[in-house]
Amino acid sequence: MKADLGVVLTGATGGIGAAIARALAPRSRAMLLVGRDADRLAALAGELARQCPALELRTVPADLNSSDGRAAVVAAAETLPGGANLLVNNAGVGELSWFSDQSDAAIERIVHTNLLAPMLLVRALLPLLLRPVHARIVNVGSILGDIGHPGSVAYCASKFALRGFTEALRRELAGGTLKVQYLAPRATRTPLNSPAQVALNAELGVASDEPAVVAQALLDLLDGRRSERHIGWPERLFVRINRMLPSLVDSSLLRQLPVIRRHAQKGVRK
């Protein structure tokens, strides 16, 4: 895409979100940074202003799980000079825990944040995003939106559904000016990971990326023609195997189950 982006980026102050903001800034004329922490948003905006002095920046401290928070984002997006032509739904939460131990509140928080909030924000922003000649929505999911994994049941459910939402909306809007894409990172080194998750990844030898790797993959997705991009090898292979021969993945994860259970039962938040 040309350097004329009007970006709305959610989850901007997280590790992946900040990396995406830095990667998109040189391509953008305007950027709306959305997150819950006003101070961290201001610090990131200041950094981007130094990086790209001509970039028009807006920040909105908002809880996207609330209608007021989403309304504030829509109102601010309307003020972007030249309008918005890229929405990156990056905000997300997770929790390593055994499903039977997980609280109702934790399950609701994960599903609302990872699925319902981006769906409702997309619907609210559709009139704005349909105005430009070309526009994009990128929903940031996860490899665990393709591979159901013990210890991450609610998280997997939310990301599977986000991928389905992306696919269905892309087909509903086919032939129009608004393109809908899906980016699926593998494990990434961010503060989102609890100590239990970090320990589990280390014991299982799970490869983890820096946030800048995810940001570069998003740029590649924008520059290419593919509707989905899955990050990492052999993770992309596992996605294909899970779709064609899920019993092989069942067997592999069964062998790891005692290790996963041990860490998940340490990581649960009541």
Q: Assign residue 210 the CATH number of its domain.
A: 3.40.50.720
Is the pLDDT confidence value at 266 over 80? Answer: no
Predicted local distance difference test score (pLDDT) of residue 270? 44
Task: Report residue 3's pLDDT band, with 50, 70 and 90 as the boundaries.
Answer: low
Nearest to 10 by CA among 32, 27, 30, 26: 32
Looking at residues 32-43, what average pLDDT do you find? 97
Q: Which of 155, 160, 165, 182 is catalytic?
A: 155
Going edge to edge, which strands form the sheet with 56-61?
Answer: 56-61, 28-35, 5-9, 86-89, 135-140, 178-184, 228-230
Could you report the per-residue pLDDT of 69-79, keeping only the tens digit for each? 999 999 999 99
| % of the chain surpassing 90 pLDDT | 75
Is the pLDDT confidence value at 27 over 80? Answer: yes
Task: Report residue 267's pLDDT band, with 50, 70 and 90 as the boundaries.
Answer: low
Nearest to 187 by CA among 238, 218, 240, 232: 232
What is the SS3 assignment for 236? helix
Looking at residues 2-14, what average pLDDT do you find? 90
Mean pLDDT for the chain? 93
Q: How far apart (Å, rounded) are the C-alpha atoms in residues 30 and 16?
A: 19
Please state the φ and ψ torsions of residue 209, each to the nearest 5 degrees: -100, 155
Angle 235-244/246-267 helices, nearest 10 degrees?
120
Q: The whole model's pTM is what?
A: 0.93
Could you report the per-residue pLDDT of 82-116, keeping only the tens digit for each? 999 999 999 999 999 999 999 999 999 999 999 99
Is the pLDDT confidence value at 16 over 50? Answer: yes
Looking at residues 130-135, what average pLDDT do you find? 93
Looking from the CA of 12 toward its CB, the CA atoms found within 13 Å total: 36
Say whether 182 is catalytic: no
Task: Report residue 1's pLDDT band, with 50, 70 and 90 as the boundaries.
Answer: very low
Looking from the CA of 243 toward its CB, the CA atoms found within 13 Å total: 10
Q: For strands 56-61 and 28-35, give the pairing.
A: parallel
Structural domain count of the chain = 1
State the residue range of the domain holding 173. Answer: 5-267
5's CB contacts (< 8 A; 6+ apart) are 24, 27, 28, 29, 30, 31, 85, 86
